[in-house]
Amino acid sequence: MKLTFGFGTGYQEVTVPEHNFIGELHANEVPVGLTGEAEVIRALHNPIGTPRLKDLVHPGETVAIVTSDVTRPMPTWKVMPALLDELYAAGIRKEDITLVFGLGSHRKQTPEEHKKLAGERAFREIRCVDSDPEDCISLGTTSRGTPVDITRVVAEADRRICLGNIEYHYFAGYSGGVKAIMPGVSTRAAIQANHSRMVLPECCAGAIDTNPLRLDIEEAGAMLGVDFIVNVVLSEHKEILCAVAGDPVKAHREGCKFLDKLYRKELKEPADIVLVSQGGAPKDLNLYQTQKALDNAKHAVKDGGVIILIGSCKEGMGEKTFEEWMTTAPTPESLIERIGRDFKLGGHKAAAIAMVLQKAEIDLVSDLDDDFVRSIFLTPQPSAQAALDHAFEKLGKDATVLAMPYGGSTLPSIMKN
User: Is the peptide bond prior to 183 cis by the omega test (within 30 degrees of 0)?
Assistant: yes
The residues, any chain, with a CB within 8 Å of residue 96's CB and separated by 6 or more, are 60, 61, 62, 63
d(Cα 37, Cα 119) in Å, to the nearest integer? 13
From the first residue on, what is the mean pLDDT of each consecutive set of 10 residues in the chain (417 residues)?
Answer: 95 97 93 95 98 98 94 90 98 98 82 92 96 93 96 98 94 96 92 88 93 97 98 91 98 97 94 96 90 94 98 94 97 93 87 96 98 98 98 98 93 85
d(Cα 349, Cα 279) in Å, to the nearest integer? 20
The residues, any chain, with a CB within 8 Å of residue 369's CB and separated by 6 or more, are none
d(Cα 206, Cα 263) in Å, to the nearest integer? 10
Amino acid at 74: M
Q: Taking Cα atoms as reference points, which of 92, 88, 86 lies closest to residue 60?
A: 92
- Name the packing angle between helices 347-357 and 287-297 (round to 10°): 40
- Name the packing angle between helices 320-328 and 332-341 (round to 10°): 130
d(Cα 69, Cα 76) in Å, to the nearest integer? 9
pLDDT value of position 105: 73
Please give, one letter per residue, the 3-state secondary structure of the chain: CEEEEEECCEEEEEECCCCCEEEECCCCCCCCCCCHHHHHHHHHHCCECCCCHHHHCCCCCCEEEEEECCCCCCCHHHHHHHHHHHHHHCCCCHHHEEEEEECCCCCCCCHHHHHHHHCHHHHHHCEEEECCCCCEEEEEECCCCCEEEEEHHHHCCCEEEEEEECCEECCCEECCHHHHCCCCCECHHHHHHHHHHHHCCCCCCCCCCCCHHHHHHHHHHHHHCCCEEEEEEECCCCCEEEEEEECCCHHHHHHHHHHHHHHEEEECCCEEEEEEECCCCCCCCCHHHHHHHHHHHCCCEEEEEEEEEECCCCCCCCCHHHHHHHHHCCCHHHHHHHHHHCCCCCHHHHHHHHHHHCCCEEEEECCCCHHHHHHCCCEEECCHHHHHHHHHHHHCCCCCEEEECCCCCCEEEECCC
Output the pTM of the full model: 0.86
The β-bridge relationship of strands 401-404 and 21-24 is: parallel
298 C-beta neighbours (distance < 10 Å), count: 25
The answer to whether 193 and 149 have CB atoms below 8 angstroms apart is no
d(Cα 94, Cα 121) in Å, to the nearest integer? 11
d(Cα 181, Cα 275) in Å, to the nearest integer? 35
pLDDT value of position 71: 74
pLDDT value of position 65: 98
Superfamily of domain 36-262: LarA, N-terminal domain (3.40.50.11440)
pLDDT value of position 104: 79
pLDDT value of position 128: 97
d(Cα 310, Cα 382) in Å, to the nearest integer? 10
Q: Name beta bridge partners: 41.
A: none
d(Cα 111, Cα 109) in Å, to the nearest integer? 7
Superfamily of domain 2-26+268-414: LarA, C-terminal domain (3.90.226.30)
Angle of CA points 255, 351, 11, to nearest 5°: 65
| Domain residue ranges in the chain | 2-26+268-414, 36-262
Q: Name beta bridge partners: 310.
A: 277, 365
